[in-house]
Chains A and B, each alone.
Chain A
Amino acid sequence: GAVVSQHPSRVICKSGTSVKIECRSLDFQATTMFWYRQFPKQSLMLMATSNEGSKATYEQGVEKDKFLINHASLTLSTLTVTSAHPEDSSFYICSARPGTSGSYEQYFGPGTRLTVT
């Protein structure tokens, strides 16, 4: 089945530093990847949609200069949280949609738990 990996699974960083999270589709090509944020006991909030080779589309209220997204290849997208602050602490989950025609399933990565101290 389709597998999406995320690295790191957990990261603790100091306030003001930047953190990069990688999302990889391991056995399929993903033309579209999604980045979500999930607070404890809450739903998934879409942050941005990234398409390979083009700029990401950010949801309203998400600062593009703070959450930098790069989808450089069909199997890799990265999210960089710049100048992180404690309020950025959250569970960040990526998902990937295969590039095959008519595919609608999104496969989620295991998530990255970010703690900013």
Chain B
Amino acid sequence: GQQVMQIPQYQHVQEGEDFTTYCNSSTTLSNIQWYKQRPGGHPVFLIQLVKSGEVKKQKRLTFQFGEAKKNSSLHITATQTTDVGTYFCAGRGNQGGKLIFGQGTELSVKP
């Protein structure tokens, strides 16, 4: 079945450094979503990417969807302590259906 892999599992950065998490699907996706879950909290929707090669920005966050629609990345520029949390990607297959979540990347930021 469809699998969504996310790396790295953990990332520790100094405040001000950049951060990137990568998401790879075993099958072509119709769309991919990104969520952030703060420690002890619940996932919060960040964005959805639909088009091949799409790039979207939200302030210091840049989201990319690969040309083949099988991979995606989230890049944070100049991390801040408020960026701490686990970032999940979630992909939906071409046949529609359920979202498959990646394992998440836990980001910690040292002030």
Can you list, as one digit per residue, whether each of A27-65 has a CB less than 8 Å from chain B (1) or not (0)? 000000010000001111110010000000001000000
Q: Which of B84-111 contact A (CB under 8 A)?
A: 88, 98-104, 106
How many residues of chain A have a CB within 8 Å of chain B? 19
Residue of A nearest to B103 (CB): A43
Chain A contacts to B: CB under 8 angstroms: 34, 41-46, 49, 59, 93, 95, 104-111
Contacts of A106 in B (CB 8 A): 33, 45, 99
Binds A, one of B11-19, B36-44, B52-60, B65-73: B36-44
| Contacts between the two chains (Cβ within 8 Å), count | 40
Quote the shortest CB–CB distance from B42 to chain A (angstroms): 4
Interface membership of B31, Cβ < 8 A: yes
| A42-B104, A104-B48, A108-B45 known, 20 other contacts, Cβ within 8 Å | A43-B88, A43-B101, A43-B102, A44-B101, A45-B101, A46-B99, A46-B101, A59-B98, A93-B42, A95-B43, A105-B48, A106-B33, A106-B99, A107-B45, A108-B42, A108-B43, A108-B44, A109-B42, A110-B41, A110-B42
- Chain B interface size band reads 10 to 19
Chain B contacts to A: CB under 8 angstroms: 31, 33, 35, 41-45, 48, 88, 98-104, 106
Quote the shortest CB–CB distance from B104 to chain A (angstroms): 5
Contacts of B31 in A (CB 8 A): 104
- 26 A-B residue pairings within 8 Å (CB atoms): A34-B98, A41-B106, A43-B101, A43-B102, A43-B104, A44-B101, A45-B101, A46-B98, A46-B99, A46-B100, A46-B101, A93-B43, A104-B31, A104-B48, A105-B45, A105-B48, A106-B45, A106-B99, A107-B45, A108-B35, A108-B42, A108-B43, A108-B44, A108-B45, A109-B42, A111-B42
Q: Considering residues B33, B42, B43, B45, which has the most beta carbons from chain A within 10 angstroms of its beta carbon?
A: B42
